[in-house]
Amino acid sequence: MDTTHHSAVKFEKDADGIVTLTLDMPGRSMNVLNDELSAPLADAIAKIEADASIRGAILTSGKKEFLAGADIDKVFAMTNAEDAFKLAEDFKAFLRRLETCGRPVVAALNGTALGGGLELALGCHYRIAIDNPKAQFGLPESKLGLLPGGGGTQRLPRLIGIQAALPLMLEGKALKPAQAKQQGIIHELASDAADMMAKARAWIAANPQAAQPWDDKKFKWPGGDSKSPANVQMWAIAPSMASAKSWGNFPAIGNIMSCVFEGGLVDFDTACRLESRYFANCVVSQVSKNMIGSLWFQLNAINKGKSRPEGFERSKVTKLGVLGAGMMGAGIAYVSAQVGIDVVLLDTTQDAADKGKAYSAGLLDKDLKKGRTTAEARDALLARIKATTAYEDLDGCDLIIEAVFEDRALKADVTRKAEAVLAKTAVFASNTSTLPITGLAQASERPKHFIGLHFFSPVDKMPLVEIIKGRKTSPETLARAFDYVQQIRKTPIVVNDSRGFYTSRVFATYVMEGIALLLDGVHPRSIEVAGLQAGMPVGPLALQDEVSLSLSLHILDQTRKDFAAEGRPYVGHPANAVIEKMVRELDRPGKKAGKGFYDYPSGAHKHLWDGLATQFPVASEQPAQSELIDRLMFAQAIEAAKCFEEGVVETVADTNIGSIFGWGFAPHQGGALQFINAHGSAAFVKRAKALEKRYGARFKPGKLLLRMARDNQAFV
């Protein structure tokens, strides 16, 4: 047997003339596509080409996963389109050699193959995967503002058809082995590694002349090429449907469609070359830099515990108490039981507690119908939730999350009652959305163990939890709260106690600016469209209706009272007057009541209330749409920078990720601080000052921003 061990690729030739190439990069837990891997791969293909006794090759991995994808550090650092073009062309040249080497090549996929990993597999003639439910296959590049530049946009449509391939790439969906097989991406499943290798050998023996279908002169596209009648119809509407969703904010979306459409009109090699051009365009785009910076590097840093205090062992919650089985408490119970935590769900009446538990049953029944869970799994999850009114049931809980009505005295009362039965070591968390944690902790006998865990609604869908440190919260309590948030598979950000914490405070500036625009005579429809065009998930007026105007007014009244009690002057937002008028004069408290900025006729779509024009007359001259977008976005970015300056948020990663995951800050901008970086701090401050002059002090950049602009610095 001829065995050569390159640094990252093991080359083994057996007596039958079958070569096994094992990707196994030294010193790394996963294989990634970079020079360290591609150089020995190129050597290996040269050896195969030169050796006529080789009858076939099997490509597999020595790690748990097959190949995670391209080296993102390298792509992120690239600012030159020519370099990016060359990167894509070099990889494709290798894949071309692989698939035209005249010998059958099998990808033996022992685990996940994403992005460049799947593209490598697509360059093989046959794909066999171990049926491991944790393995994922997909081309997720668009999630980071990129596109598959290793031939993925050409091989996948030629393999499974244009209409099946497009959504997989546009949405960046990852498939399980069985799904990938069903879609025709994987040919065969194997039960384990030995079975996979045996199947690979058998296929090589049976297919000595293997070649790719697209290299066959008589190749026919499955479902037709771009000119086929069905695809022509699809191409007539797909781009406009995509831009109606993305508002043109994601260049990768348009570029992927162009690759597939144009690639579907030309021969394979020309198609590959045009893909490299679109890939280069994505790589050097500001959007991919924004998205990779925050949604890859910063998110990874958070997941690795950047904001978690060091020196405390990882902890796990085994029994959780949830006080208040309302909307939030019910959701918190569900996501916790989902990861195997025993939950005690407590309310004032058994009926209310049962109703909270029924929320989980409802979600699970829906999953069951859709085949996403089994009856046993549902019953097991429900058995972990105990609905009760008895505080004694909280005995043995290592964490309590309080989610009763937003009322200080009530929260103090349940805190005392719960602590009476809890072990001294238990952590007590409040899910308050507005009340300062330090104040709530005064009701606690152990303020060191008291912390804020601010969930978002609906709890089962929203990926973020904002952890709030009170003045007396201990680092150990923070570490344990952090671990719990990760245990329920959500992303934690850590903030200091302050009015509105971080997310609610900055989120409010978006909604309030939208309302201020209304006051300035801007047509309400333009305001909503500006929000969507800016990349926000919902227009500001619709969002205010969802939050409810009456709740905002309640918080406003409370804030005014608090300021008066502290003897501080309260500087209101111009939008306050609109909210007061809407609730107190016009009786339009929001969506729940069926009337706010919108009307919500039953059984029909909501529409902007036609009385708005009378109450807030539309000016005869309307500002440019870009002015509206700037107001909506600068208001948020300036406030986020202030939160960072004041130490409410302590890291750039938490600030950016908190903005995207918490209230949907335009993801293509990479978060509220990255928005400033992308402008350049000097240009940002210049524009902010112009907005301040025209619209008021809320656009005044803080001291930190002024200093950064002077020194030309960025948030890092």
Residue nearest to ligand NAD (CB): 326
346 binds ligand NAD (CB under 6 A): yes
Judging by DSSP bridges, how do beta strands 598-599 and 607-608 pair with one another?
A: antiparallel
Between CA 66 and CA 173 the distance in angstroms is: 18
Question: What is the C-alpha separation between 497 and 478, in angstroms, rounded?
Answer: 13
Q: Given candidates 65, 275, 347, 419, which one binds ligand NAD under the rule CB under 6 A?
A: 347
Taking CB under 6 A as the criterion, the residue among 324, 452, 540, 701 binding ligand NAD is 324
What is the 8-class DSSP label of residue 87?
A: H
Respond yes or no: is residue 6 known to be catalytic: no
Tell me how far apart the alpha carbons of residues 209 and 103 are, in angstroms, rounded to a whole number.
Answer: 6
Of 225 and 402, CB closest to ligand NAD: 402
Which helix (H) or strand (E) is 188 found in, with range? strand 188-190
Span near ligand NAD by CB under 6 A; candidates 161-169, 239-247, 344-352, 603-611: 344-352
Contact positions with ligand NAD (CB under 6 A) in 389-418 = 403-406, 410, 414
When computed from its CA atoms, the radius of gyration of the chain, rounded to whole angstroms, is 29
Out of 9, 139, 323, 708, the only residue in the binding site for ligand NAD (CB under 6 A) is 323
Give 278 or 391: the residue with its C-beta nearer to ligand NAD: 391
Q: What is the dihedral of CA 38, 40, 44, 49, to 10 degrees?
A: 60
Distance, in Å, from the CA atom of 164 to the CA atom of 300, rounded to the nearest integer, reads 31
Among 57, 84, 328, 394, the residue binding ligand NAD under the rule CB under 6 A is 328
How big is the site for ligand NAD, counted in residues (CB under 6 A)?
23
Q: In terms of CB distance, is 387 or 652 closer to ligand NAD?
A: 387
Quote the least distance from Cβ 564 to ligand NAD, whole Å: 22
* Range 295-301 contact pairs with CB under 8 angstroms and sequence separation of 24 or more: 295/143, 295/144, 295/657, 295/660, 295/667, 295/670, 296/72, 296/76, 296/144, 297/76, 298/652, 298/653, 298/656, 298/657, 298/671, 299/491, 299/653, 299/657, 301/653
Q: Residue 242 or residue 511: which is nearer to ligand NAD going by CB? A: 511
Q: Which two tokens stand for residue 238?
A: 């797909």
Residue 678 touching ligand NAD (CB under 6 A): no
| CA atoms of 190 and 561, how far apart (whole Å) | 67
The torsion region of residue 247 among left (phi > 0), alpha (psi -120 to 50) and beta comes to: left
Q: How far is the CB of 349 from ligand NAD (least distance, A)?
A: 7
Nearer to ligand NAD, 253 or 323 (CB): 323
One of 285, 288, 290, 433 touching ligand NAD (CB under 6 A): 433
Q: Which two tokens stand for residue 596?
A: 């706010």
Of 449, 454, 573, 679, the active-site residue reads: 454
Site residues for ligand NAD, 444-463, by CB under 6 A, read 454-455, 457
CB 53 within 8 A of CB 17: yes
Q: Which stretch binds ligand NAD (CB under 6 A): 23-31, 135-143, 418-426, 428-436?
A: 428-436
Find, among 105, 288, 229, 382, the residue nearest to 667 by Cα: 288
662 binds ligand NAD (CB under 6 A): no
- Closest distance of CB 552 from ligand NAD, Å: 12
Which tokens is 328 given? 């939030």
CB of 355 vs ligand NAD, minimal distance in Å? 8
Both structure tokens of 627: 């002015």
Sequence-separated (6 or more) residues with CB below 8 Å from residue 673: 637, 640, 641, 644, 652, 655, 656, 659, 715
x-marked contacts with ligand NAD along 349-388 as a string, rule CB under 6 A: ---x------------------------------------
- Return the closest-CA partner of residue 193 out of 113, 136, 132, 138: 132
CB nearer to ligand NAD: give 121 or 579: 579
69, 157, 251, 329: which one binds ligand NAD (CB under 6 A) = 329
Looking at the Cβ atoms of 326 and 396, the one nearer to ligand NAD is 326
Q: Which residues are at the interface with ligand NAD (CB under 6 A)?
A: 323-329, 346-348, 352, 403-406, 410, 414, 431-433, 454-455, 457
Residues forming the active site: 454
